[in-house]
Structure 1
């Protein structure tokens, strides 16, 4: 199981490195530009690469949790998060100003699904009182709060109120969601490093 966890951490680390490199090589404002827009930059290929690595890391950590006897819903949520991350990378968003396409729709709803699943997994692990339970709970709650801030502008636009990302820190709130959810995933794996010799408490 330790090999699975180390491989999972390596994939997450490589994905984070690719994401940071993409940001450094782009000229977008991270305060307002959402991460999806970086796919149209010259180094945009790093975005699907990073998301695929996150998906691989999540799958490896989910398998380690399964072998440790973790709650099956936690395992399924981590697998679902990884699958959603892969879809987000495989189906790029639309260029700014264009109507929502099928690719853009898959991208948007896969991202929303991922943003919902990881905090739920973190809260379930915290409820099972694994190592770092308090940190898992805090990060999960922060992720949910930031997700609400991400969703609000879309709801406002549905009522016909013009609101662009330049008017709000859309990029910042989205990055808070992504960073906290990666933190939840990493802590889920770290919680297993010293419990490989015993089973993780499963939730009833």
Structure 2
């Protein structure tokens, strides 16, 4: 199981590196530009690459937790997050100013689903009092709070009130969600990386 965990964490690290490289080579303002817009940059291929690596990392960690006897809902939520991340990468968003297309719609709602599922998984793990429970709970709650800030502008626009990302720190709030959720995913793997944590029989009971 250690191989699954190490490989999963390595995939998350590689995906984060690809994401940082994409940002470093872009001229977009991260305070206002959402991550999805980076796909239209010259190094835009790094975005689906990064998301695919996150997908692989989540799948490996989910399998490790399953083998450890974790709560099946934690495993299901991680698998759902992985599937959503794959869809986000496979279906790019629309260019700015273009009406919402099928690809853009799948991209948007898959991202929302992912943003909801990871904090729930983190809170379930924290409730089981696993290692890093306090950090898991804190990151999950920050992710939930930031997600609310991400959703509010969409709700405002539904009522016909014009609000562009240039008017709000849309990029910042989205990045808070992404970073905290990657933190939750990494901690989910780290909870089981220590040999003694994988062997303690009580852990399966706490997670079940």
Quick check: TM above 0.5? Answer: yes
- What aligned pairs does 1:92-103 form with structure 2 within 5 A after superposition? 92-103=92-103
- What aligned pairs does 1:50-89 form with structure 2 within 5 A after superposition? 50-89=50-89
The CA deviation at 1:202 is 4.2
- What aligned pairs does 1:119-134 form with structure 2 within 5 A after superposition? 119-134=119-134
Per the alignment, residue 31 of structure 1 pairs with 31
- Identify unmatched segments of 5+ residues in structure 1: none
The CA deviation at 1:25 is 0.6
Per-residue deviation, residues 49-102 of structure 1 (Å, max 9, x unmatched): 000000000000000000000000000000100110000000000000000000
Per the alignment, residue 7 of structure 1 pairs with 7
Per the alignment, residue 20 of structure 1 pairs with 20
Counterpart secondary structure, 1:192: coil
Is 1:198 the counterpart of 2:200? The answer is: yes
Count of residues paired in the alignment: 204
Counterpart secondary structure, 1:96: coil
Work out the CA distance in 2 between the residues paired with 1:158 and 1:202.
43
Which 4+ stretches in 1 moved above 6 angstroms? none
**TM-score after normalising by structure 1:** 0.98
Counterpart secondary structure, 2:199: coil
Counterpart secondary structure, 2:161: coil
Which shifted more, 137-146 or 190-199?
A: 190-199
Equivalent residues of 1:2, 1:196 under 8 A apart:
no
Work out the CA distance in 1 between the residues paired with 2:62 and 2:33.
31
Instruction: Give the CA RMSD over aligned residues.
Output: 0.8
Counterpart secondary structure, 1:161: coil
The CA deviation at 1:193 is 1.1
Work out the CA distance in 2 between the residues paired with 1:202 and 1:135.
17
Per-residue deviation, residues 133-156 of structure 1 (Å, max 9, x unmatched): 010000000000000000000000
The CA deviation at 1:198 is 2.8
**TM-score after normalising by structure 2:** 0.96
Counterpart secondary structure, 2:192: helix
Work out the CA distance in 2 between the residues paired with 1:150 and 1:29.
17
